[in-house]
Structures are given as C-alpha cells and as structure tokens.
Structure 1
C-alpha cells in the first residue's frame, strides 16, 4: 500500500499549501453534520472547497449497504470500488478535511487506515484554517474525475463489533472511551435517536471529543497525552465509541497523535449498543 509522506496524521494548512500540487496528493472534503442540522455538505462542497478537493460521502455513498445503522464501514471490495469512482489510486497520499475544523474528517482518516491505507492525514482546523491562512478557495463547478483502480486491504484490528466488545468490558488490558458529551454518557440527557437508551457501557470512561479540540484545532500533543494518561495506561488497548461512530474517530486520531498504538473503533457505537437490549447499560 501507500507510504507515508506526512509528518504525522495531522497536517497544517501551510503544509498542505506547500504540497498540494504534488500529483500523488488527493484532497477530500469529508464534511458531515448531525441529524437535524439543516446543512447539505455535498452542496456546500460544490460551491466552496479547497482547490481540487473531492467530496467523500461516508454517510450515503461510501457506507455499508443493507444495514439499519448509519454510515457503517463497508467491505474492502465496496470501499475499493467507491475510491476507484473518486479517482483515488492505491498509492495516493490523502488529506482529509471538514468544514467544522476537526469533526468528521477523522472518520475518513480511520476508514482509510482500517482499509490498509497508511498515507492519510487530517487537515488541522479544516476548511476554516485554510481560508484563514489566506489560501485560495475553489468556487467553480467541480471537475469530473477519471476512474482509477483502488485496492483496499481490510485491517481488522482497527474495528470491533458489539459482540466482540461485550467480551472485553471487564478486561484489564482494555479501556473503552466514550466520545459523547458527559450528560449523554451519564444518562442525564436523552439520546437524540429514537429508541436508544440513555447511559453508557459498564467499565467505559467518558472522554468527550470536545475536550481534545479547541477552536477547530486539536490541542497540543502534550495536552492530548495528559488527557489519555488520565483515563488509561500507555500500553492498554483503547476502544473508542460515540453516538454513531464519527467522533469516536476524533479520539482515535488524537490517541495516535499522543503516541498510543492499540486503537480500535466500535463502529456501531451507541446507536447500536443503546437500542439492542441484550447489551448492558448503566447510568452511574
């Protein structure tokens, strides 16, 4: 697969501006909004984007079909076909951004890592950071990309399902970190999706993703390290959950930046766990 050209899994607007003309760099807009937010990310991309950026629709197009759960990770074959349609090559280096700073782009970073793609990074600060730095914005109609041949290789260590996770809740070498707001974690605020119970998994710990970002940027590596050291040991296996598998990936990227190595995302997250009665839920 691809080789890393990035200094880390997080790059600055300045770094991207200096390298964006490389033929092997592909920029992806992975903007996504919570249900109920009256914004259309694909429409916004079509009229305003980083030059050459392609829209990566992980909510509707690059997602597993035939499931009631939102934007689940598709199979390697499905992922390969979707990337081929986007004109992405197996050896390209990918920079992902979103329009909220650091919110949904880490989801796509995680998807590529779970599919064996090493050379992928998130733009710190997203579209706003690019604009605020004074770099050009493309507003013309997006160009049509030529289809390529992309080959994904699934990496199972990056993802876990509910049944497998349920066997790890009380193991000493594993910590489940929940990225939802604390009020939802403790069950004092109802879940936004109908039919989903309030609370959290037994033994899980609360680490709201909002504690890891400030003004659309990740906090410093030193601060990230402190946040993870407060809730886990350096050698523990970290499993990340959230509402529907998006902000869990903010935690996954932050953990990697902080030097953690055993990282897994629970893709179904609370949308699945909270509504399937066989999985235990507590509120204290």
Structure 2
C-alpha cells in the first residue's frame, strides 16, 4: 500500500551542517568495505581507518557486523536479538527524541542497512545523508580526525516491527503469489546468474524482479536520483497494491531498495534478511538462472 512520500528520510549535507550543533542530532559513519578473499570469495571489514583519517564532526563509528548484527548466527549481518540491539544502540546514545543521521563512504547501502535496523526496532527519527562522506568532503566541509569523542549513553526503546522482516518460508510462499512482489537488488548479471558471488548456486529466487540498488544512485556523486526518477524505477512493477520483499546476498543492498520504497510512500516493504546466503545454500529451494 502506498501512503504519503517521505523525502525527509534523506537529508542534504547543507541540512546536516546546520544541525551539527544540535545535541539531539547523532551522526554515525557505517562504512564497511568488501575485500576479495580466495578462501571465501570475499570478506567484509569495518573501515575504521578511513574514519580515523577524517569524519564528520561529532560522528561515531558503527561496525555493522560487530555492533548491529547477530554474532552467533551462521549467516553474516543477520538481525540481532532485540535486547542486544537495544544495548548497543543505548551505548551509542540513541534514545527517543534523538535524530539519528547515517552515512557511509563508497557504497551507501551500509547506511540504509542501519536505517532499516533502527526502523525495525522502532526508532522513527532516523535519516540518511545523501551522498555520504564523499559529498561532504568534496564540498570541503569541516572534518575531525582520530577516535570518536565520548558520548553520553542513552536508553533505547524497542518497539519491534515484524512486518519489515521476511522469512524464508514467507518468501517461498510468495512464489507465484499475486499478493507479493519480490525484488532483487543485485546487479543484472548477478540476477541472471552470470557472475558474482553465487552463495552456493547462481541465479535468483523464482518470480523475482530486478531493481539494482546501484540503479537508484547517480553513479558519479553517489547521491540518490530525484524522487520522480526513483518512482520511474519501480513504475513497471506491481508494488502499489502488494506486499514487497527485497533481497540480495546478505540483506545489505536490499536495504537501499527498501529505503527508496519507503521514501516513495510504500509502507508494506520487508527485507528477506538471510537473502541468498540462506536461499542459494539450501538445495531444497528453487532457483532460476538466465
């Protein structure tokens, strides 16, 4: 179902520059890099070195895997238990009344992943910085170096929203259903099963359609495309009157699709959290290529 647009989920560097002195505005760098690895195809690591070299004044650094993922799960970047998330969010000073601003360098979907996590656990006042640190630095705005400055802890309040999370069983039941639109956020060649990490088997969830996360951005500036252009990216899909489930490899790039759909006013959007890391590894589940 589509309600009103929410362009306010995305904030400009100019807006943030004017809000940095506000004690109720908390800024976080969520940058993670993907590193090729002969044994595991790739690995992920937090980009703390780049944060130490320069970050937006007052920002804290979030290690998405360590701070906001379930460290006991067999798959990476899985939704953590509510009490674990609340403990970490509180340690970062996040609590009701605080506006959380998220950014990343390079791939912006690390910021949208944390945006989704905070929304899942009930924090409404959370936004993404358009263009991330790349745009901030390009505009020669002030930066800090070194470790993050100490911040008073908060008291995060959990209000879990299960409608924003899709399970394997729900995705399986959605195949062939006229009530669900399943969207892959992977690149077209990965969607077709031609290249990229296969997570065990190449291809896509049957019946799913492709809206690559990268297609939602300006390739040079890494800023999001105008709202009317973003609307066109989804105009050919039956998202208006259906539940939408987004997926990718680990539920990271899928968060960019979910974020844009939320900006466009669609309020029945979920992420298949385990995504292809679970689906492709389970040979009992169907998969399509080509």
TM-score interval for Structure 1 and Structure 2 normalised by the shorter chain: over 0.9
Question: Which digits, 9 at most, give the CA deviation of each residue in 1:39-93, with x for residues without a partner?
Answer: 7512221231101111111112221132110011112111100111222223211
Q: Which residue pairs with 1:201 in the alignment?
A: 205
Deviation at 1:205, TM superposition (A): 0.5
Q: Gaps (5+ residues) in structure 1? A: 1-5
TM-score (norm 1): 0.92
Q: Retained in 2: the 8 A contact 1:101–1:124?
A: no
User: What's the counterpart of residue 119 of structure 2?
Assistant: 113
Unmatched segments (≥5 aa) in structure 2: 1-5, 37-42
Q: Does 1:104 align with 2:110?
A: yes
| Distance in 2 between residues matched to 1:96 and 1:190, nearest whole Å | 28
Structure 2 distance, partners of 1:192, 1:203, is 18
User: Residue 7 of structure 1: CA displacement?
Assistant: 5.9
Note if 1:16 corresponds to 2:20. no
Separation in structure 2 between the aligned mates of residue 260 and residue 200 of structure 1, nearest angstrom: 23
Q: 1:257 & 1:149 partners in 2: Cα distance?
A: 27
Of the candidates 45, 49, 59, which is equivalent to residue 65 of structure 2? 59
Structure 2 residue aligned with 1:141: 147
The answer to whether the aligner puts 1:152 opposite 2:158 as a matched pair is: yes
SS in 1 for 2:244: strand
Alignment correspondent of 1:29: 29
What's the CA shift for 1:145?
Answer: 2.5
Q: Does the Cα contact within 8 Å between 1:47 and 1:141 map onto a contact in 2?
A: no
What secondary structure does 1:27 align onto?
strand
Q: Is the 1:102–1:213 Cα contact (8 Å) retained in structure 2?
A: no
Deviation at 1:203, TM superposition (A): 0.7
Distance 1:33 1:160 in 2: 26
Alignment RMSD, CA only?
1.8
TM-score by length of 2: 0.90
1:208-254: per-residue Cα shift (whole Å, max 9, x none)? 11111112011111011111112224222111001111110000111
1:245 to 237, 241, 251: 251
Structure 1 runs of 4+ with >3 Å offset: 37-40
Paired residue for 1:46, among 52, 57, 61?
52
Name the structure 2 match of 1:3: none
1:69 is aligned, of 56, 72, 75, to: 75
Q: Number of matched residues?
A: 277
